[in-house]
Structures are given as C-alpha cells and as structure tokens.
Structure 1
Amino acid sequence: MKIVIIDYGAGNIQSIKFALKRLGYNAILTDSETEIRIADTVIFPGVGEASSAMAKLKASGLDKVIPSLKQPVLGICLGMQLLCNSSEEGNTNGLGVFDVNVIKFSNDLKVPQIGWNQISNLKSSLFKNVTENEFMYLVHSYYAPLCEEAIATSEYGIQYTSALKKDNFYGVQFHPEKSSTAGEQILKNFLEL
C-alpha cells in the first residue's frame, strides 16, 4: 500500500510517520503531484496558520490537486480546516471540499483549546472499534461549526464538528497520531477504507 503524506511545510510529520510505523505502515512525504495522485491513501496534515499554509499550497499548485483526488484523503487539524470553504484565521479561502466555514472560538473561552477532549455522535466506518465519548488530543483556536458533513462532534463552550466526511474526503480536528490507541485505531480504519 502506498501512503503519501502531503509535504507543504505545515505539518506534524514525524509523529504521523511514527504512528503509521507502529501500525506496520511506511509513508512517503512528498509535494509531487504524480506521487500524490498514484497513492492509495493520502494524509493532509497541518499545524500552523491558515493563510500562510494556503499560500504554500497555492505556490506549489497543490490547492488544485488536493480537491481533485479520488482516493481516500484524511485532513488532520489545519489540514481539515483547509479542506473547508474558508477560515476566519487570516481571512483565508479554503479548498471548498467541506461546505462549512471555520470560525474562531469566542473570546470568553481560553484559546487555543489544548489537551484531551471527547468525541461524540460518531458516524462512519472511520470510527470502527472506537468508543463513543473517547478522548482525543486537540490543539486549536478555530473550529468548524455543526454541519451536515459532520461525523463526530466535541464540546468546548459550544458543540462543534470534530470530524467531517464527504465522498472520499475525511477530516479530523483532533490529532489521531497523538491520541493513544484510539487515535491509532482511527488511522488504521482510514488506511483500511
């Protein structure tokens, strides 16, 4: 199986690679359109700020490549947010895969939300063998509101979308690669889709 992690200078790459290795998989880190298109599965990671990350995607042409992919794609954290229509962070237009606009948590909450939080309302084979209200590790100041494409929710002041699915695209706000055995189960489920 060929697993590609998209390299655009905004990732938590090593922890994802280690998590995949623990599951018995190797992944290629690349920004090559050819390598990305022939992969069996694609992981679109992200840590950092939305507008600068999107600028890097545009500079490499990956902003056109990613939404056109046909194999399973998993956006993680900022990767998930960039798959949405837009983000208030840096007033950024996203890739428009998920029909939701990412907004900032209200000022009366401590941001970023850092640490463990529960995921609920699990819908999708992505969560096979994952318990309802399982804890996942999150670090974020912006979130996707509840929407039709939500396949998991979390609560932080309000209920928000913590995972999305549309066609072959999946997105998780949390970091499965840092979320212990339940997170690894989600990565395993994704690779076995």
Structure 2
Amino acid sequence: MKTNEIVGKKIIDKNVKEVGKIAEMTFDTKTFKLTGIYGSTGNPISKKYHDIKPEDIMAIGDYLQIAIPKEELMEASLDKMPKSEKYNVKSSEIIGKKVLDCNGNDSGKVSSIDIDIEKQEIIAINVSKASSFTKTEEAKIEQNEITGFGDYILINKTLDFETGEKAEEKSEDASEEEKVDININ
C-alpha cells in the first residue's frame, strides 16, 4: 500500500469511536521501519495532532484501528507535529526528494512510498522523471537498492526509464542483428 493511500484515512479507537484522520507517517531511514503515525482532529485553525506509536496500531485497512481509547489519545495532543529528526523522517519529506544513482546522476524524484502494512516498513519507493514529451516515467526502487537518505536519496544502480515500445523496438533490432546469412556455393 502506498503512503498517499493511507494519509487521510479515518482513525477508530479500541472503543470503536472515531478519533480523527491520519495526517502524517514517520519512518526510520536506517531500518525503513514505521516509527509513528500522526492523527489530526479539529479544523485548520485549531487543529490538534496525536502521536500514534506502531505498537498501538491494530489494523490498517479502510480505517486505521488503534488499541488505545480516544480519551487517552486526546490527553497527549500536540499543537503541531514535531520536526523530523536525524533518521526519523516524515513521509511528506521523503516524497519529492531527488534520487541520485550510483554514478551521481539525477534519476528523478520520489513520487510515492510503498509500505508493507504487516511488517510496518518501507518496501520500495517509486521514482518519477519527466520525459521529453511531457510524459512521466516511473521506476520502482526496492528497499535493498537504497544506500542513503539525507538531502538526497542514493541508490546503488542506474535507472532505465525506457517505455515498453522502445524496449520492444530494441529487442526486435537486436534479434535482426543476430541473424546471419551464409551462402555456401
């Protein structure tokens, strides 16, 4: 599931009461584990945030179900979300980061984050890059291909953003080049 599919889901407490909506997710950039979810309540002027720990998550489906009551969550409300720390980064700060390949070239920007709900960790990031004809091409970077997080995201490979048509044309050209005519007289 992608983080942008999770942010905005309603939060339901252990007493089946609506708590609010998911506003943000945070991840450890060394272990790729989910470190927290921030729920929000109220209107834009008086919005409050609630820190939900991974161990308090019962399920994430159409709703986020948590194992603590609404009252307990409201007691520890925050006026604003804490800033990202060294390795604990908000998903909204990962999306949009430039990705550099193993040769130091710009490979595009992170367009979304795929997470494994059961393991509560990032399994891949999706990188998009605009092509010459205003089409956006995407590539998936698996967790084990990410070598560093910081102002940029470093990966251990180069990306090939060719479209399916170009790849098919190349394979047809290659098969024609492999043909050899031999005349024996």
Bin for the TM-score computed over the shorter chain: under 0.3
The normalised TM-score by structure 2 is 0.24
- Which one has the largest radius of gyration? 2
More strand by share: 2
More helix by share: 1
